[in-house]
Chains A and B, each alone.
Chain A
Amino acid sequence: MSVKDYLRERYMPHLWCAGCGHGIVMNNLIRAIIDLGLSKNDIVMVTGIGCSSRISGYLDFHTLHTLHGRALAFATGVKLARPELSIIVPMGDGDAIAIGGNHFIHAARRNIDVTAIIMNNSIYGMTGGQFSPLTGHDKKATTAPFGSIDHPFDTVRLAMGAGASFVARTTTYHVTSMKNILKKAIMHKGFSVVEILSQCPTYFGKKNNMGNAVDMLNDYKTHTVPIGSKKKKENPDLIERGIFVQEEREEYCAEYEMLVKKVKKE
């Protein structure tokens, strides 16, 4: 199977801008799925609203394009109803952490076997460049013309605190590790979170004078380091990437099945 076999070409051209990081994520997600040998019929992709969420339309799985912020809530219904299916939920940063923040922490707490991919471009792209909870202090956006006074979430720490049993971060520059992390996240039995820093040259890049897509990719190379790297100690502003948490814990649907067995005996 090739990458093309997973695309719904009928629905091309896609709406992503030239240089957008989301295409790189889609490409590597497909490669991860090919490597894992998963059947297309066994994958349900659930998305919310935003540039990133359009990914579900382009991929040949069972796809559910839902409401802004609610993808994980829909996904929880699908997964609990059919635990044998693999559920992948790509979301944007505003989608997952602002309007969808409550669903995000509770999906993590339940440790339901869903793979949440946060395509973090630090901006609301679809609506034209407003700041998100991951935009960052002093950064500019159409709704923060003088620089944002909001402090950002650290998605990794948020996911860890909420109880996700697999938490990782990578970028669109580090494609090989992105693919490998996605493979591990999809195979992980429990709630897995992969934050992927993904460039939006059209709004975030432009508003903050970050150059073109290539310049932004280079920034990911220079501003991130592997977990535990010495450089991070010298420069705390560097962002760590890699797998932060990977632990075996009772998964929600498995627990539900055990409960059913127990009450049926009574």
Chain B
Amino acid sequence: MNKKKVFVQGNEACVEAALYAGVDFFAGYPITPSTEIAEQLAYRLPKKGGKFIQMEDEISSMCAIIGASLTGLKSMTATSGPGFTLKQEAIGFAIMAEVPCVIVNVQRGGLSTGLPTSVQQGDVMQARWGTHGDHSIIALTASNHQDLFAMTIEAFNLAETYRTPVILLFDAVIGHMRESLIIPEPGELPLVERLKTSVDEKTNYHPYLPREDGRLPMSDFGGVHRYNVTGLMHDMWGFPSTDPRVAYILMHHLYEKIEGHVNEICRMKEFYLEDANCILISYGASARSALHVVQSRRARGERLGLLELQTLWPFPAEAVRQKCERAMYVIVVEMNLGQIMRVVKRAIDDPNKLFLANRIDGELITPQDIKNMLRMIYGKGV
């Protein structure tokens, strides 16, 4: 096969994947370090007849993709740091109104304006809980461009399958680093297209009545079915309701449609886990350093393994518990103050065997940082 091999930034790989997945609408606002995604799509989308718009702010970008998605277009936005915070209200709306869309967050350093051109992974919990009220969310990540390509397509597929916003939680290192990427042939990776209602014009269409399998067929805005979409609690017609039963059922549905499918949704990669007595758990750019340590220690005969998370939310708690069952030590490697570490702590049987190797100064965590933690655990001192 004559595959197309390119040497690109992670942000460009994300654009290639979005186009492969069939993105037809992008709205965004410039922000470091995700801007290349908007720049590339401003060039690529008009060429295929897709829509690109630079909005007046981050908030309106998020709102615009929800509006576009309701008309049937695969829609996405991209942002970083403060921009992700500004989008949270509308992300909540998309969850509540069950509108498929993809939000890329190329994480940068620190809180507030922080370190705009540096790297951290500090938005893990904001991806989970950034918008107000109880809810569930899907958030994916990747540690190299080939995976980033696959996960971006997965994001579009999951958004359509579960009628929900999906967050791609990349980081500044992955977004800006250049490495080679093989773009798959069309048709090589499966794409999920929107599930449309089979109900005809004359029959009542219930936009919020799940089928037996839990999925909700959609009808495009501007089509033959006229219905109401709202961020208020609503019944199967999409009409506001304060009935406690309606609220209860909807809250459950929105949560369960994701948390009840953890096994179908979650992706992870395993390296030397079979006999590992020390397991590193990592994701994104941190997983590159973690893998380096595991491979070099294996070469010396030490039984290290790596569990690389590709789905952060919903969190695959049961899978993580099982995989860590026999390990003596579990070390979470991440670039924050332990956001995934605390989730792992709740998942595994013995929290006393858990350690954190992290970095929060805007620099990429190095293999040496992880090795220092190993020395400490093994009682060798730093």
- A26 proximal to B (CB < 8 A): no
Q: Mark B45-72, 1 if CB is under 8 A from A, else 0.
A: 0110101010111011001111111111
A96 to chain B, nearest CB (A): 14
Binds B, one of A36-44, A127-135, A241-249: A36-44
Q: Select B230's contact among A65, A75, A81, A85, beta carbons within 8 Å.
A: A65
Find out whether the CB atom of A70 lies under 8 angstroms from the CB atom of B63.
yes
Q: Which residues of B contact A73 (CB under 8 A)?
A: 55, 59-60, 63-64, 67
Which A residues between 71 and 88 are near B, CB-CB below 8 angstroms? Answer: 72-82, 84-85
Binds B, one of A53-61, A142-150, A163-171, A206-214: A53-61
- B27 proximal to A (CB < 8 A): yes
User: Assuming the A-B contacts A44-B221, A260-B46, are A67 and B229 also in contact, with contact meaning beta carbons closer than 8 angstroms in the complex?
Assistant: no
A85 to chain B, nearest CB (A): 5
What secondary structure prevails in chain B residues at the interface with A?
Answer: mixed
- A64 proximal to B (CB < 8 A): yes
> How far apart sit A61 and B71, CA to CA, in the bound complex (Å)?
14
Q: Mark A73-107, 1 if CB is under 8 A from B, else 0.
A: 11111111110110000000000000000110010
- A151 proximal to B (CB < 8 A): no
Kindly report which residue of chain B lies nearest to residue A109, judged by CB atoms.
Answer: B56
Find out whether the CB atom of A64 lies under 8 angstroms from the CB atom of B222.
no
- B227 proximal to A (CB < 8 A): yes
User: Assuming the A-B contacts A81-B73, A103-B56, are A260 and B231 also in contact, with contact meaning beta carbons closer than 8 angstroms in the complex?
Assistant: no
> How far apart sit A106 and B47, CA to CA, in the bound complex (Å)?
25
Q: Select A57's contact among B71, B231, B240, beta carbons within 8 Å.
A: B240
Q: Which residues of A contact B25 (CB under 8 A)?
A: 77, 80-81
Find out whether the CB atom of B226 lies under 8 angstroms from the CB atom of A81.
no
Find out whether the CB atom of A62 lies under 8 angstroms from the CB atom of B227.
yes
Find out whether the CB atom of B231 lies under 8 angstroms from the CB atom of A66.
yes
Find out whether the CB atom of B239 lies under 8 angstroms from the CB atom of A10.
yes
A192 to chain B, nearest CB (A): 18
A29 to chain B, nearest CB (A): 16
Find out whether the CB atom of A77 lies under 8 angstroms from the CB atom of B66.
yes
Q: Which residues of B contact A40 (CB under 8 A)?
A: 226
> How far apart sit A121 and B372, CA to CA, in the bound complex (Å)?
66
Q: Which residues of A contact B230 (CB under 8 A)?
A: 57, 64-66
Q: Select A78's contact among B47, B90, B221, B227, beta carbons within 8 Å.
A: B221
Find out whether the CB atom of B64 lies under 8 angstroms from the CB atom of A57.
no
- B89 proximal to A (CB < 8 A): yes
Q: Select B55's contact among A66, A76, A85, A263, beta carbons within 8 Å.
A: A76
A43 to chain B, nearest CB (A): 9
Find out whether the CB atom of B222 lies under 8 angstroms from the CB atom of A82.
yes
> What is the size, in residues, of chain B's interface with A at 8 Å between Cβ atoms?
42
- A256 proximal to B (CB < 8 A): yes
Find out whether the CB atom of A64 lies under 8 angstroms from the CB atom of B221.
yes
Q: Which residues of B contact A56 (CB under 8 A)?
A: 228
Q: Select A62's contact among B63, B73, B226, beta carbons within 8 Å.
A: B226
> How far apart sit A230 and B351, CA to CA, in the bound complex (Å)?
82
A253 to chain B, nearest CB (A): 9
Q: Select B70's contact among A11, A64, A102, A260, beta carbons within 8 Å.
A: A64
Q: Which residues of B contact A81 (CB under 8 A)?
A: 24-25, 51, 67-68, 71-73, 75
Find out whether the CB atom of B221 lies under 8 angstroms from the CB atom of A76.
no
Kindly report which residue of chain A lies nearest to residue B62, judged by CB atoms.
Answer: A73
Q: Which residues of A contact B71 (CB under 8 A)?
A: 78, 81-82, 85
> How far apart sit A264 and B69, CA to CA, in the bound complex (Å)?
24
> How far apart sit A82 and B27, CA to CA, in the bound complex (Å)?
15
A115 to chain B, nearest CB (A): 15
Find out whether the CB atom of B68 lies under 8 angstroms from the CB atom of A259.
no
- A63 proximal to B (CB < 8 A): yes
User: Assuming the A-B contacts A70-B59, A70-B63, A103-B60, are A76 and B46 also in contact, with contact meaning beta carbons closer than 8 angstroms in the complex?
Assistant: no
Q: Which residues of B contact A8 (CB under 8 A)?
A: 228, 239
Q: Which residues of B contact A260 (CB under 8 A)?
A: 46, 49
A119 to chain B, nearest CB (A): 18
Find out whether the CB atom of B222 lies under 8 angstroms from the CB atom of A62.
yes
- B236 proximal to A (CB < 8 A): no
Q: Which residues of A contact B224 (CB under 8 A)?
A: 41
B233 to chain A, nearest CB (A): 12
Find out whether the CB atom of A77 lies under 8 angstroms from the CB atom of B68.
yes
Q: Which residues of A contact B59 (CB under 8 A)?
A: 70, 73
Q: Which residues of A contact B70 (CB under 8 A)?
A: 64, 78
> How far apart sit A212 and B51, CA to CA, in the bound complex (Å)?
49
13 A–B contacts from the bound complex (CB under 8 Å): A8-B239, A41-B224, A57-B228, A63-B226, A64-B229, A70-B60, A73-B59, A80-B53, A81-B67, A82-B71, A85-B71, A256-B51, A260-B49
Known: A64-B70, A64-B230, A77-B65. 18 other contacts (CB 8 A): A8-B239, A10-B239, A56-B228, A62-B221, A62-B222, A63-B227, A64-B221, A65-B232, A66-B66, A67-B89, A67-B231, A76-B55, A77-B25, A77-B27, A77-B63, A84-B222, A260-B49, A264-B47
The 5 closest A-B pairs by CB, nearest first: A77-B67, A77-B64, A73-B60, A73-B63, A81-B68
